[in-house]
A and B are shown apart, each in its own frame.
Chain A
Amino acid sequence: MALVTGIPAPLTPVGAARLLVLRNFIVYKSAWKLFLTGFLEPVLYLFSIGIGVGQLIDGFEFHGEQVPYATFVAPAMLATSAFNGALLDSTFNVFFKLKYEKLYDQMLATPLSTGDIARGEIAWGLMRGSVYSAAFLLVMVAMGLVESWWAVLALPATVLIAFAFSAVCMALTTWMKSWQDFDKITLAQMPLFLFSATFFPVEAFGNGVLRWIVEATPLYRGVVLCRELTTGVVTWESAVSVVYLVVMGVVGLLVVRRRLDTLLLT
């Protein structure tokens, strides 16, 4: 039997994360159809609400600029596609791997560490979200819903959204005890999707506490960031959103690592 000659060089953090991505990639190579659903959902919303309902609405004022309704909704769906893509893997799939597949236990029998697992899984969720967003962005360009060259930066913005949600949702998933607990995720996902200034401007919430709350939610930051970029109305608020999402992602990543230590290294 051939021996592995010498001891392989230790894995770098990036190299280790790539291996987790590779593992997930092999799984989805034979199940690529599952990939389509996450992409289709925001596209369907864009067609039905953005274009369909949009014919009944003149459009909205966004940061003082008048924008057609479809152009207003499209960037929100762009942010949502990153959000959906990130959520798919970081919740159900992570739970399944953690509790039933014991996949991370297998990995921890190798030189991989909990940090590698956290980074790798979040990287995968981020990539899945980003692929959806990139495809959606192309749809937007094809339909003439992009109004500025700033939109080039919308892609990295969606990567950031996917990162932030992957990390935080994976962290929350580590506390889940059963599949029923995922109702809570759905319970949070729907209102985030409907009320993050996705289909109507945040001004609709008035100027009270409610608006303040909406503006502090993560998907709102993602939606507004994308909208600012695709419509070309970049403001200081864009920077706030970027910092917000970066912090959210990093905190999530650190929590995931800590939680995996607690759960698996007993």
Chain B
Amino acid sequence: MISARGLRKSFGDFEAVKGIDVDVRRGEAFGFLGPNGAGKSSTMRMIASVSPVSSGELRILGMDPATDGPAIRGRLGVCPQEDTLDNELNVFDNLYIYGRYFGIDRATCRDRAHELLEFAQITDKAKAKVESLSGGMKRRLTIARSLINSPDLLLLDEPTTGLDPQARHVLWDQLFRLKQAGVTLVITTHYMDEAEQLCDRLVVMDKGLIAAEGSPRELIDAHSTREVAELRFGVGEHEALADKVEDLGERVEVLPDRLLVYSDHGEEVVTAVLERGLHPIATLVRRSTLEDVFLRLTGRSLAD
């Protein structure tokens, strides 16, 4: 579906994407995980065939975006980072006219618009102004709109950023159903839980490069331990205490507000810490996540 070789994107002197190789296969959910400014959105815009490739090779659905832009875009669904809905039109017309932009005939556009209103669970808002919708509804409408042409490939740029937890789960459920229906999904996110929930395979991006690639499970197995013990001490004590627990795990990370001890047996680490006479304010044992993978690969957390 997508094949990129040595793909680069620069804006003047700034190089946002510094040569990446990516392959996305039909029917999979593929993720770009990374902090803001990692080059995810630039990559997505190139895939969406609205941003010219600076250098390298990019093929979408076997076509070259430089020459076949309209043909590629005709088979893509794009859900941009910010909702770009048509605020001058009502909800139904947003879907209808967007379908018409694809050259789809009137009757099919109307039918599709009705189906998608149902899919997005906003049928009762069909005649409402877009502005009156809640954030979650707007997001669902944007996603519904990106499906109007029954795309082969759906691009979702930060699909749940800014949504409350409940709205996120509704959205994840819908994206999961789309995946079941055979739609290829490409998702960018800086939420590791989102990447773990939705992606079959992902790349971790940092500073315009790919730091690692694999399924969420593979990445965690390869770059982290099974469990993590989080130890919270007083402010400013973490750096000094790191030495005292270093030998308890495979690796220790010092964060401003806590110590992370990586080990396959987290509870044992906590017990050992207490036995040494150290008194953390709070402790937590959890499974490793993609956040830990990211921390390991880049030395920074995703939120930075």
Measuring CB to CB, which residues of chain A are less than 8 angstroms from any residue of chain B? 1-4, 7-11, 15, 19, 22-23, 26-27, 101-103, 105-113, 264-266
Bound-state CA distance A22–B88 (Å) is 13
Jot down 29 A-B pairs with beta carbons below 8 A, ordered by A: A1-B115, A1-B119, A1-B150, A2-B111, A2-B115, A3-B150, A4-B112, A4-B149, A4-B150, A8-B74, A8-B104, A8-B105, A10-B103, A19-B100, A23-B89, A23-B97, A26-B93, A101-B86, A105-B80, A105-B84, A108-B50, A109-B50, A109-B73, A110-B73, A110-B74, A111-B73, A111-B101, A112-B70, A113-B70
Instruction: Let me know if A112 and B101 touch, CB within 8 A.
Output: yes
Instruction: Let me know if B103 and A9 touch, CB within 8 A.
Output: yes
Cross-interface CB contact of B103 among A15, A26, A102, cutoff 8 Å: A15
Instruction: Let me know if B88 and A27 touch, CB within 8 A.
Output: yes
Instruction: Let me know if A109 and B48 touch, CB within 8 A.
Output: yes
Instruction: Let me know if A103 and B86 touch, CB within 8 A.
Output: yes
Residue of A3, A4, A101, A109 with most chain B CB atoms under a 10 A cut-off: A109
Q: A2 with B105: in contact, given A7-B74, A26-B93, A106-B98 (CB under 8 Å)?
A: no
Bound-state CA distance A120–B167 (Å) is 37
Q: A101 with B87: in contact, given A10-B70, A109-B78 (CB under 8 Å)?
A: yes
Instruction: Let me know if A111 and B115 touch, CB within 8 A.
Output: no
Residue of B82, B101, B115 with most chain A CB atoms under a 10 A cut-off: B101
Give chain B interface residues in 145-198, CB to chain A under 8 Å. 146, 149-150, 181
Bound-state CA distance A10–B102 (Å) is 8
Report chain A residues within 8 Å CB of B103: 8-11, 15, 111
Report chain B residues within 8 Å CB of A264: 50
Residue of B51, B73, B181 with most chain A CB atoms under a 10 A cut-off: B73
Residue of B nearest to A28 (CB): B88
Q: How far is the CB of A84 from the nearest CB of chain B, in Å? A: 21
Bound-state CA distance A264–B104 (Å) is 24
Instruction: Let me know if B115 and A110 touch, CB within 8 A.
Output: no
Q: State the majority secondary structure of interface residues on A.
A: loop
Instruction: Let me know if A106 and B149 touch, CB within 8 A.
Output: no
Q: Decide yes or no whether B278 CB sits under 8 A from chain A.
A: no
Instruction: Let me know if B104 and A106 touch, CB within 8 A.
Output: no
Q: Decide yes or no whether B283 CB sits under 8 A from chain A.
A: no
Instruction: Let me know if B89 and A26 touch, CB within 8 A.
Output: yes
Bound-state CA distance A4–B105 (Å) is 10
Report chain A residues within 8 Å CB of B93: 26
Cross-interface CB contact of A22 among B50, B73, B97, cutoff 8 Å: B97
Bound-state CA distance A108–B111 (Å) is 23
Report chain A residues within 8 Å CB of B84: 101-103, 105-106
Q: How far is the CB of B39 from the nearest CB of chain A, in Å? A: 14
Report chain B residues within 8 Å CB of A9: 103
Bound-state CA distance A9–B105 (Å) is 10
Report chain B residues within 8 Å CB of A19: 97, 100-101
Bound-state CA distance A106–B99 (Å) is 12
